[in-house]
Chains A and B, each alone.
Chain A
């Protein structure tokens, strides 16, 4: 049964506070384990896992973090055999963007 089912017990507000902090990307104040019931503690552990996943995606998507920066050149418009990228770079259409539907 979901914590939001009308007939079920109201979810612990601290659970929602943690989820809201995760949604906002703000600092999470995790309740101490002994301050919540077992069911809430279990859900908090799972939210912590989701938080880890979220942070992993953030790190993996942040240019400069980790082992290799993400290429930021964006094929934008291409006309007459020239590929134009969002950073102002231009290259001949014989480059990598040819044949990919962006020429």
Chain B
């Protein structure tokens, strides 16, 4: 934590939640190399793991900072995973917000060592919430047209491929899984991934993602 407090892993997510959205194409190879040489600013906001420790200690402000940091990212993610009928902004907001608040209330059960682990944890419980929502609606299928029962991602790639992807993802090692999730699903830049998985540089994170993608391909049936 002390190391992170100096800004090495601190990132600037609190700022980025408001000024940067999904960041799908942030790093060319050359820019990644430049990033590796850049020293994080000492004024970077507090890192996620430090905030989590403060939340565990009952710090309400740290809790709000975490909410502000992760709500937009999780909303965007959930928007792609929720079926069309449940994709109205109110529904997405409610699902994500309730899920995140519940996760913060259960921090005593899980102590993530990295931001990547925390986000992967949030993704898991949010995915479970999404599946529960789908099951809830499926109990009364007559009310929902078939084409509204699929999420945007499912509509794009098909349920079969997404299931294969999820299954392979579940068999990856922890850090590889986090790297893939952060890059593929949340659009983190390599620098952000480096901070989130405790990698020494953006280039190292880029290599981790590259190799993780090959391993993921190997595991896809």
Known contacts A23-B206, A24-B27, A60-B80; A53/B68 CB under 8 A: no
A23 touches B67 (CB 8 A): no
Let me know if A71 and B75 touch, CB within 8 A.
yes
* Stretch of B3-11, B15-23, B129-137 at the chain-chain interface: B15-23
Most central of B26, B72, B165, B218 by chain A CB within 10 Å: B218
Q: Interface of chain A, helix or strand or loop or mixed?
A: mixed
- In this assembly, does B56 line the interface, its C-beta being within 8 Å of a C-beta of chain A? no
Q: What is the interface size of chain B, counting residues whose CB is below 8 A from a CB of the partner?
A: 61
Q: Which residues of A contact B97 (CB under 8 A)?
A: 75, 97, 100-102
Cβ contact within 8 Å between B93 and A96: yes
CB of B50 closer than 8 Å to a CB of A: no
Cβ-defined contact, B217 with A26, below 8 A: no
The residue on B at minimum CB distance from A56 is: B156
A36 on the B face (CB < 8 A): no
Please encode chain B, from 162 to 205, with 1 for each CB lying within 8 Å of some chain A CB and 0 for all others: 10110000000000000000011111001000000000000000
The residues of B with any CB-CB pair to A shorter than 8 Å are: 17-18, 21-22, 24-29, 32, 63-64, 67-68, 71-72, 75-77, 79-81, 84, 87-90, 92-94, 97-98, 101, 104, 151-153, 156-157, 161-162, 164-165, 183-187, 190, 206, 209-211, 213-218, 220
Residues of A within 8 A of B (CB): 2-4, 11, 15-16, 19-20, 22-26, 43, 46-47, 49-50, 52-63, 66-68, 70-72, 74-78, 86-87, 96-97, 100-102
Pair B211/A19 contact, Cβ less than 8 Å:
yes
Taking the closest CB of chain A, its distance from the CB of B120, in whole angstroms, is: 15
Interface contact A49-B161, CB-CB below 8 Å: yes
Name the CB-closest residue of B to A58: B24
- Cα–Cα distance between A63 and B152 once the two chains are bound (Å): 13
